[in-house]
Structure 1
Amino acid sequence: MTPESDPGEPVTPAGRLFLRPEMDSIIHCAIGVKNEMGIDTVKSAIKNSLMIKHPRFCSLLVRDKNGQEHWKRTDIDVDQHLIIVNNKNGFCCSCDDDVDKIVNDYLADLAVSTPLDINKPLWEIHVMLEQKCAILRIHHALGDGISLMSMFLAICRKASEPEAMPTLVTGKRDYRKEGKRQDWSGVLLGVLKVVWFSLVFCLQFVLRALWVSDKKTSISGGDGVELWPRKLVTAKFLIEDMKIVKRAVANATVNDVLFGVISSALSRYLDHRSPNAMQEGQQITGMAMVNLREQLTLQNLSEMMKSNSGSQSKWGNSVDPLQYVRRAKLMIDRKKKTFEAPFTYRIGDLIMSLLGSKAACILNYRVLCNTTFTVSNVVGPQEEITLMGNPITFIRALTMHMVSYAGKAEMQIMVAKDIIPDPEFLAKCFEDALLEMKEAAAATI
């Protein structure tokens, strides 16, 4: 079928939501490499990549006479999607500047100042030659983090085995092996807890969408905060440090540790900014995305792409740092055993089907405005990998987003600089929180 005769594929409900002006979402992923990149090599790699073969990446966004969005196939001109970043095109940096800061400053400016051109497929690749870094800009309507990560890793190879695909851990746990077998009374109690907490958390979501909001703090935003100038910093962790903390709390996961670190760090930062303003027991709420699909292997995800498919805020030395992990684990375990995630998905899907993308956008926007922050994380490969034979040094995404890679994890923290003028200190709060937990965990061994 030629592009002219293609009637177009309807945009998915989630894609329509992300295309709304109020929710317009672009995924930014920075990939650092060890060796210098040649422009011709980059162009050749793009032309031969799985990305170019995927229908979403070679389709234009079009709207019919009724305003419905469709994907319409088109021919790809790689030069239109490749932006070479250097001093000659207005991007200034000194030789003494830290590479992380240069990349982060460029990303922060890019995130709020440069929308994607709808006259071409909704993706770009910015190549920062001097920093040996490539930045993928992909509209969220093209896919979510898991599918896009799988597509990227499908074109990479292990550094130790040039012909082998990277290993991606799904994090699946066998809860049947945890603890003793429960009797019928235990099963009944478990069912009652699921029902009760499902009702509580689902009701909290409905109230959050209607009028309930977090109490204003020094890190709360205002109307239109999503358009305010940004700053971006990186907090760096070792996965082994997280595992040490994980082993100190019974049946904890790395995710539990991550949320404990966030709770501890935000408590410390809020106490630093407003020492006398915070009250014991005050809560702030974050939004975390979860994957409701069955866990798949990297190979399965690659095939799927080919087929188009609150924390207490008082900080003090008398508090056991591991308490943040225990509280996070308790909260997360409760939520895992409820129907809150499927409920919120079904509510959004129902509103999208009955009332359209505008109403669904209003719902999502209100929930986001009534919370304080958003957080996401994606599991990356365990071992070092290469792209076009060039060893990759880091993989990063935006917002408060953590990506693991080869025993390391880096969290990109994007803030409105008028609200959080010192994100470097906030990043240090995150790093120090994990180190304190590690020390406390080591003391228990």
Structure 2
Amino acid sequence: MGERGDEPLTPAGRLFLQPEMNQVIHCVIGLKNPIDVDSIKSQIRDSTLLKHPRFTSLMVRDPRGVEHWRPTQIHIDDHVRVIHDHSTPINNYLAELSIDTSGLSMDKPLWEIHLLLPHKCVIFRIHHSLGDGISLMSMLLASCRKLNNPDALPTIAAPSASRTARIQFKNLIVNLWFCFVFAIQFILRCLWIRDTKSAITGGPGVELWPRKIATATFSLEHMKTVKRAVPNATINDVLFAVISSGISKYLDFRAPNGLRDGVQLTGLAMVNLRKQPGLQELSNLMRSNSGARWGNKFGMLLLPVYYYRSNSTDPLEYLKRAKAMIDRKKQSLEANFSYIVGDFVMSTLGPKFASFLNYRILCHTTFTISNVVGPQEEIMIGGNPVTFLRANNSALPHALILNMVSYAGKADMQVQVAKDIIPDPEFLAKCFEDALLEMNEQVTPKM
């Protein structure tokens, strides 16, 4: 048994400590002004971070091997690393971190802050067992203020209700059918069904391969313009259309005769299962010790994209296909199903078996995608204006990992690749950017 005051890890927290699923999240914050190291340390001491038990506890195992959080004293200097190197670009530094979890030693709470002084950039590393992207965003924004109103917290747009409230009693039969179909697909994907091999396919052991990272930047105004071209479309629909089109463009370049039109390449999407009420509630995550709210609460969606020769396809067809597919996925409750099944497997069969199943899903699909909604307006932290927000995570068996964060009218998507499989992530990032520009040009009236 653990000592008095210890708190057991959640099932999801235990999963992310398994060797095959060992994951660290990196939140990247660009700043306008030079970094004052002493000021940063002082802000950390006074921040909400040190008021939350997850960030002030060690991960320990009892004699039965069960993990617990144990409160401990924080020594700021053990968690802050100051980097003076001018020669290593930010994305190269992140690529090295993505295959290195040794810095998060178990003899201290599982988080670090790296200060890249020459780049005026802060990298916040937390182990995924502490929480997910929504938890991390809540922690970050609780310490930020609006640039044009230093006394006000940032705001996050709440999703429209039109697409999230469609599951009604009259559609129950349809919903149950989609639930059944996608549940079977999910189970079969765990067991043996896998994607067609392509020039971007990873596989077992690829999580250990060297990485490269590039950044694709999108205008949210362009994404909104495109989504208005298809009734009831959403930003997420546009995102998956961009990914589908961008991957097709890239495969045209890398393997022009390698795939037939319509070949499915499956993405594994991480979907937040909390209600998205805006920042005021997100800030409460930091003030609440409730394990039901803070931590990891997300499901997985299998989201197919389809290869088509990019010079023979109407750009908006990608959006129409993405919308139809995501509408069916929402009716299926697949994300909720995956969360419930994952929690059941963790609780009954243990983290080793759950890790085995998750690893197989990763090896049987082609890429990972996550999308975190950030502040709508410019913000500052410690009085220093924030120029960009980005995120990425540790390497996975996928050769392609996509992490998008929106901030103040734009969205940055980190394109992380296994460089021996995808040697040119900068070109792939440009394929994604060009895909959105083509869709925007298609729907923008000519003068």
TM-score by length of 2: 0.91
Per-residue CA shift, 1:24-49, capped at 9, x if unaligned?
A: 00001110000011111010011111
Q: Is the 8 A contact 1:198 1:340 kept in 2?
A: yes
- The whole-number CA distance in structure 1 between the counterparts of 2:387 and 2:319 is 29
User: Once the 2 structures are TM-superposed, how far is the Cα of residue 169 of structure 1 from its aligned partner?
Assistant: 1.2
Q: Is the 8 A contact 2:263 2:307 kept in 1?
A: yes
Query: How many pairs does the alignment contain?
Result: 424
Match of 1:428 in 2: 430
User: Once the 2 structures are TM-superposed, how far is the Cα of residue 316 of structure 1 from its aligned partner?
Assistant: 3.4
Q: Secondary structure at the match of 1:112?
A: coil
Q: Secondary structure at the match of 1:324?
A: helix
Q: Is the 8 A contact 1:267 1:311 kept in 2?
A: no
User: Once the 2 structures are TM-superposed, how far is the Cα of residue 220 of structure 1 from its aligned partner?
Assistant: 0.7
Match of 1:182 in 2: none
Q: Is the 8 A contact 1:237 1:408 kept in 2?
A: yes
Matches within 5 A, 1:156-167: 156-167=144-155
User: Once the 2 structures are TM-superposed, how far is the Cα of residue 175 of structure 1 from its aligned partner?
Assistant: 5.0
Asked if 1:171 is matched to 2:156, the reply is no
Larger radius of gyration: 1
Q: Is the 8 A contact 2:240 2:305 kept in 1?
A: no
Query: Which amino acid in 2 is paired with 1:166?
Result: P
Q: Secondary structure at the match of 1:75?
A: coil
Question: Structure 2 stretches of 5 or more lacking a match?
Answer: 291-303, 393-400
Q: Secondary structure at the match of 2:311?
A: coil
Query: Which amino acid in 2 is paired with 1:105?
Result: N
Q: 2:93 aligns with which of 78, 85, 106?
A: 106
User: Once the 2 structures are TM-superposed, how far is the Cα of residue 347 of structure 1 from its aligned partner?
Assistant: 1.2
- The whole-number CA distance in structure 2 between the counterparts of 1:316 and 1:215 is 19
Match of 1:271 in 2: 252
- The whole-number CA distance in structure 2 between the counterparts of 1:303 and 1:109 is 34
Asked if 1:235 is matched to 2:237, the reply is no
Asked if 1:299 is matched to 2:280, the reply is yes
Match of 2:301 in 1: none
TM-score by length of 1: 0.92
Matches within 5 A, 1:112-151: 112-115=99-102, 116-151=104-139
Mark the CA change 1:316 to 1:396 in structure 2 (over 3 Å): closer, same or farther. closer
Q: Is the 8 A contact 1:219 1:420 kept in 2?
A: yes
Matches within 5 A, 1:56-75: 56-75=54-73
Q: Larger deviation: 218-227 or 207-216?
A: 218-227
User: Once the 2 structures are TM-superposed, how far is the Cα of residue 173 of structure 1 from its aligned partner?
Assistant: 1.9
Match of 1:417 in 2: 419
Match of 1:96 in 2: none
Match of 1:181 in 2: none
Asked if 1:213 is matched to 2:194, the reply is yes
- The whole-number CA distance in structure 1 between the counterparts of 2:4 and 2:220 is 47
- The whole-number CA distance in structure 2 between the counterparts of 1:250 and 1:227 is 43
Match of 2:5 in 1: 7
Matches within 5 A, 1:31-110: 31-87=29-85, 93=87, 102-110=89-97
Q: Secondary structure at the match of 1:314?
A: coil
Identity within the alignment, %:
58
Mark the CA change 1:437 to 1:312 in structure 2 (over 3 Å): closer, same or farther. same
Match of 2:440 in 1: 438
Q: Secondary structure at the match of 1:327?
A: helix
User: Once the 2 structures are TM-superposed, how far is the Cα of residue 443 of structure 1 from its aligned partner?
Assistant: 4.3
Q: 1:392 aligns with which of 386, 399, 402?
A: 386
- The whole-number CA distance in structure 1 between the counterparts of 2:73 and 2:350 is 31
- The whole-number CA distance in structure 2 between the counterparts of 1:82 and 1:43 is 8
User: Once the 2 structures are TM-superposed, how far is the Cα of residue 215 of structure 1 from its aligned partner?
Assistant: 1.1
Mark the CA change 1:272 to 1:21 in structure 2 (over 3 Å): closer, same or farther. same
Match of 1:252 in 2: 233
